Amino acid sequence: MEETRRSLRSRVREVVAETGSLVVPRRCPCGEEGSWLCARCAVALAAPARRVEAGCDALQLLSGARIREERHGATVLPAGVDHTPLLPVLALGEYGGALQELVLAWKNAGQLHLGGRIAEALAPAVTTLAASGGVRRPELVPVPSRRGARIRRGEDHVAELVRSLARTGCGRPLLLRAVPTTAQEGRGARQRRGRRIRVTGAAARRAGARAAPVVVVDDVVTTGATLRGMHEALTAQGMRVLGAVVVAASRLPGHDDLARW
């Protein structure tokens, strides 16, 4: 009887907590009250996604080098090195201002409902990458979250973003067991530019066996080391990586980067 009363009391507390949360005033990450995302901040999600891989150092592959200027017909190639990005990466914008506030509120402040709005904004980018690979609905693979971050926040927000993206119909979730490896032995300069990730489990083997076309999903890209690690891990399993979509890029490609193309 005492047991029942206790569980009833805790259930009442739960209900009170749930109902209480319904009357919390809606507040945008910028602080404006009245909506979860004010009109001004919603603009940060309104721009079409743009290519950002040229601004990610870890994604550049050396594709050519010239000791001196070379002439090819009418074209003169200057001395130097050429880089080709490993994969296309699409982002909604630069990690700053309203977009940064929004990402931080979604990631760290428990405002998970923002994930739905972010997914709607990002879905066309998935469709663009899918179309370039001749695919209608690719499989969406979240980058692995660091274990510590997942425990601290209590949820995996990138995996949740993948589920929200799937609900828009642009792709199907492919949640794999991906383990960031921290082994340092024998790491050369090339490996240091990437983050080593191991993808394991039956789902990964099956996706590899049918050469599944996949799009990698992450929140913010900085150097691209994690995306590079995912590209290597998924390709090693046999999957076809069409590209990556991220919410924001810490650095947008500048004129110098574009000149490399």
Q: Which residues here bind Zn ion, judged by CB under 5 A?
A: 28, 30, 32, 38, 41
Q: Output 32 or 94, the one with its CB closest to Zn ion.
A: 32
Cβ atoms of 162 and 137 within 8 Å: the answer is no
In the complex, the smallest distance separating the C-beta of residue 26 from Zn ion, rounded to whole angstroms, is 11
**Cβ within 8 Å of residue 132, ≥6 positions away:** 88, 242, 243
CB of 103: closest distance to Zn ion in angstroms?
Answer: 13
d(CA 178, CA 201): 9
Residue 43 beta carbon to Zn ion: minimum distance, rounded to whole angstroms: 9
Closest CB to Zn ion among residues 41, 178: 41
Longest C-alpha distance within the chain, in Å?
92
Shortest reach from residue 44's CB to Zn ion, in Å:
9
Q: Residue 27 or 260: which CB sits closer to Zn ion?
A: 27
Q: Least distance to Zn ion from the beta carbon of 92, Å?
A: 16
Q: Which is nearer to Zn ion, 105 or 204 (CB)?
A: 105
Of the pair 35, 181, the CB lying nearest Zn ion is at 35
Residue closer to Zn ion by CB (options 41, 141) is 41
3-state secondary structure 56-72: CHHHEEEEEEECCCEEE
Contacts for 151-158: CB closer than 8 Å, 24+ residues apart: 153/107, 153/108, 153/110, 155/112, 157/106, 157/107, 157/112, 157/115, 157/219, 158/217, 158/218, 158/219
Q: Which residue has the tokens 């919603």?
A: 42
| Sign for the pseudo-dihedral over CA of 197, 202, 207, 209 | positive
Which residue number, 42 or 252, has a Cβ lying nearer to Zn ion?
42
For the four alpha carbons of 233, 239, 244 and 245, in that order, the dihedral sign comes to: negative
Q: Give every CB contact of residue 72 below 8 A, 6+ residues apart in sequence.
A: none
What's the closest the beta carbon of residue 49 comes to Zn ion, in angstroms? 21
Shortest approach of Zn ion to residue 36 CB, angstroms?
A: 9
